[in-house]
C-alpha cells in the first residue's frame, strides 16, 4: 500500500510540473564520507565584501504549493513548498522543545496568516495532543483530519513531518487521529528518510553522532543522535547548533547545553582524519571565566565531532588562522577525544 501511495505521489508531482519549465535538479549527497563544511584548510582568504555562511535563522514551515494556472505560468509545479519562520519566534517565551513542537503545529493548523502559506490540513482540524518523548514527536489530531484521503493525506503527513523534524534531536514523527491510525494506513511513524518531497531547501542527509553534554556533576556524558542536515547547512554547523540546545528529554541528569546559544562555526573540512574547524574570533567572549569550564566546553565539542565517522582529531582555527590559545585551552595542535569519548 505504501509503495502505491509513493508511486501516486510521484505521478502527481510529474503531472503538476508538466509545461512549467524545467526545475533545477536538487543536488544529491555524495557517496563518500561527508565533508564537515565548506572551509578548506589553507584556502585563500575571502574577498572583501564576502560573508561567511552562517546557520539559517529560519525554520521552514511546509504547506501546499499554489498550483493555480497563474502560478504555473511563473514556473511553479511542486506539490509542497516552505515559507520561512524566524527561529526567534519558535523559541520565544523560553519555550522548551515540546512547546516548540506545539507552536509549529498551531501554525500548521491555521495559525500562520502569511498570504503565501496554504494550510495543508482541513479547516477545523484541532490539535488534541503534541508530546515529545526522546527523539519522537507524537501528534494526535481531531477527526476532521480524516477528510484527507490518498495523496492529499500523504502530502499533509509529510508537511507536518518536514516541519517538525527541524527541531533539534527529533528523529521521527508519529501521527494519529483521535488516538487511532486510519484504516488505510499501515504506518503511523515517519522519519526524514521516508519523506521524498525534498527540494533545494529540504533535507540533504542525516548523520549519526554522539553529542556530549555536562551532567549535574560537570562530567561529559554522551547522547546518541541522528542529526538532520538541511541544504545550506554544513554538518559541523548542525553539530554546533545541537550543542547549543538542551539534550533530549530521555537522558536523565542532562539538562544544560554544552555551548552558549550564540556559539557558531564558520565551516570545516576533514583531511586525513583531522577535522579543521573554523570558528569566528568572537567565540572568545562566549567562553566561561573558569579554566576548567573552558576545557570541558572545548573537550565536549571535540568529542562530539570525533564521534563522526572519519574524524580522529580536531584542529581549531579562529577566522581561518592557526592560534596558540582559545581562552586557556591550547589549540596550536589538533585536539584528541577524551578517553571517556573513545570508550563510549
User: 58 and 193: one domain?
Assistant: yes
| 46, part of any domain | no
Q: What are phi and psi of 273, to 5 degrees?
A: 85, -5
Return the exposure string of 24-63: e unless at least 16 CB atoms fall within 10 Å of the residue's CB, then b.
Answer: eeeeeeeeeebbbbbbebeeeeeeeeeeeeebbebbbbbb
List residues bridging with 189 in a β-sheet: 174
- In this structure, the dihedral spanned by the alpha carbons of residues 329, 338, 293 and 226, taken in order and rounded to 10 degrees, is 110
How many angstroms separate the CA atoms of 103 and 181, rounded? 23
By CB neighbour count within 10 A (0-12 exposed, 13-18 middle, 19+ buried), where does 297 fall?
A: buried
Structural domain includes residue 164: yes
Domain count, the chain: 2
| One domain for residues 115 and 243 | no
Residues 259 and 299 in one domain: yes
- What is the distance between the alpha carbons of residues 257 and 44, in angstroms, rounded to a whole number? 34
Query: How long is the chain?
Result: 344
| Residues 214, 187 within the same domain | no
The pLDDT assigned to 108 comes to 94
Are 293 and 221 in the same domain? yes
CB-based burial label for 22 (10 Å; 0-12, 13-18, 19+): exposed
Measured CA to CA, the distance from residue 185 to residue 123 in angstroms comes to: 22
Same domain, 93 and 169: yes
Domain edge (last residue) among 166, 197, 228: 197
Same domain, yes or no: 156 and 254: no
For the ranges 85-89, 185-189, 246-250, the maximum mean pLDDT occurs at: 85-89
pLDDT at 71: 45
Name the residue among 121, 127, 67, 119 with its Cα closest to residue 101. Answer: 127
Instruction: List, for residues 128-174, the tens digit of each pLDDT value.
Output: 999 998 788 999 999 999 888 777 888 888 899 989 988 887 888 88
Asked if residue 236 has pLDDT above 70, the reply is: yes
What is the grid cell recorded at 211?
553529542
The residue among 197, 231, 257 that closes a domain is 197
Residue 65 maps to a domain: yes
Please say if the pLDDT value at position 193 is more than 80: no
Q: Is residue 215 part of a domain?
A: yes
Please give the pLDDT value at position 2. Answer: 44
The answer on pLDDT for 183 being more than 50 is yes
Q: Within a domain: residue 21? A: no
**In-domain check, residue 34:** no
Region 250-254: what's the mean pLDDT? Answer: 58
- Inter-residue long-range contacts of 15-22, CB under 8 Å, 24+ positions, other chains counted: 16/67, 16/72, 16/77, 16/78, 16/79, 17/77, 17/78, 18/77, 19/72, 20/72, 20/73, 20/75, 20/76, 20/77, 21/75
How far apart (Å, rounded) are the C-alpha atoms in residues 85 and 82?
Answer: 9
pLDDT higher than 80, residue 323:
yes
**Residues 38-47: pLDDT tens digits?**
223 333 333 3
Angle, CA of 276, 243 and 306, to the nearest 5°? 40
pLDDT at 11: 46
Q: Are residues 77 and 126 in the same domain?
A: yes
Q: Mean pLDDT over all residues of the chain?
A: 75
Q: Are residues 248 and 173 in the same domain?
A: no
pLDDT for position 75: 38
Q: Is the pLDDT of residue 36 over 60?
A: no
Local confidence band at 268 (pLDDT 50, 70, 90 cut-offs): confident
182 with 232, same domain: the answer is no
Domain for residue 178, yes or no? Answer: yes
263 and 295 share a domain?
Answer: yes
From 167, 197, 227, the end of a domain falls on 197
Residue 35 lies in a domain: no
Is the per-residue pLDDT at 19 higher than 70? Answer: no
Candidate from 64-73, 215-224, 238-247, 278-287 with smallest mean pLDDT:
64-73
Its domain, for residue 181, covers 54-197
Looking at the fold, whether 193 and 58 belong to one and the same domain comes out as: yes
Indicate if the pLDDT at residue 18 is higher than 50. no
Amino acid at each position: 500500500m505504501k509503495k502505491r501511495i509513493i508511486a501516486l505521489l510521484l505521478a502527481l508531482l510529474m503531472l503538476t510540473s508538466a509545461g512549467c519549465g524545467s526545475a533545477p535538479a536538487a543536488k544529491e549527497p555524495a557517496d563518500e564520507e561527508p565533508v564537515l563544511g565548506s572551509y578548506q584548510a589553507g584556502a585563500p582568504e575571502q574577498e572583501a565584501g564576502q560573508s561567511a555562511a552562517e546557520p539559517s535563522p529560519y525554520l521552514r514551515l511546509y504547506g501546499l504549493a499554489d498550483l493555480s494556472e497563474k502560478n504555473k505560468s511563473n514556473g511553479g509545479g511542486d506539490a509542497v513548498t516552505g515559507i520561512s519562520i524566524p527561529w526567534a519566534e519558535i523559541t520565544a517565551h523560553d519555550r522548551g522543545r515540546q512547546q516548540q513542537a506545539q507552536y509549529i503545529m498551531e501554525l500548521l493548523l491555521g495559525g500562520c496568516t502569511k498570504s503565501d502559506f496554504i494550510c495543508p490540513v482541513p479547516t477545523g482540524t484541532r490539535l488534541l495532543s503534541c508530546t515529545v518523548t526522546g527523539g519522537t514527536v507524537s501528534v494526535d489530531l481531531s477527526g476532521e483530519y480524516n477528510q484527507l484521503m490518498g495523496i492529499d493525506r500523504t502530502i499533509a503527513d509529510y508537511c507536518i513531518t518536514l516541519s517538525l523534524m527541524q527541531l533539534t534531536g527529533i528523529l521521527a514523527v508519529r501521527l494519529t487521529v483521535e488516538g487511532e491510525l486510519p484504516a488505510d494506513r499501515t504506518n503511523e511513524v515517519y522519519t526524514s528518510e521516508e519523506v521524498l518531497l525534498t527540494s533545494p531547501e529540504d533535507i540533504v542527509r542525516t548523520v549519526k553522532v554522539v553529542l556530549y553534554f555536562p551532567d549535574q556533576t560537570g562530567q561529559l556524558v554522551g547522547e546518541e543522535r541522528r542529526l538532520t542536515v538541511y541544504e545550506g547547512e554544513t554538518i559541523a554547523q548542525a553539530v554546533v547548533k545541537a550543542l547549543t540546545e538542551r539534550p533530549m528529554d530521555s537522558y536523565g541528569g542532562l539538562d544544560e547545553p554544552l555551548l552558549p546559544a550564540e556559539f557558531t562555526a564558520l565551516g570545516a573540512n576533514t583531511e586525513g582524519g583531522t577535522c579543521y574547524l573554523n570558528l569566528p574570533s568572537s567565540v572568545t567572549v562566549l567562553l566561561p571565566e573558569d579554566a576548567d569550564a573552558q576545557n570541558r566546553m572545548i573537550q565536549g565539542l571535540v568529542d562530539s565531532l570525533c564521534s563522526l565517522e572519519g574524524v580522529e582529531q580536531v584542529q581549531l582555527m579562529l577566522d581561518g588562522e592557526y592560534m596558540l590559545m582559545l581562552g586557556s585551552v591550547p589549540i596550536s595542535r589538533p585536539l584528541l577525544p577524551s578517553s571517556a569519548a573513545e570508550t563510549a
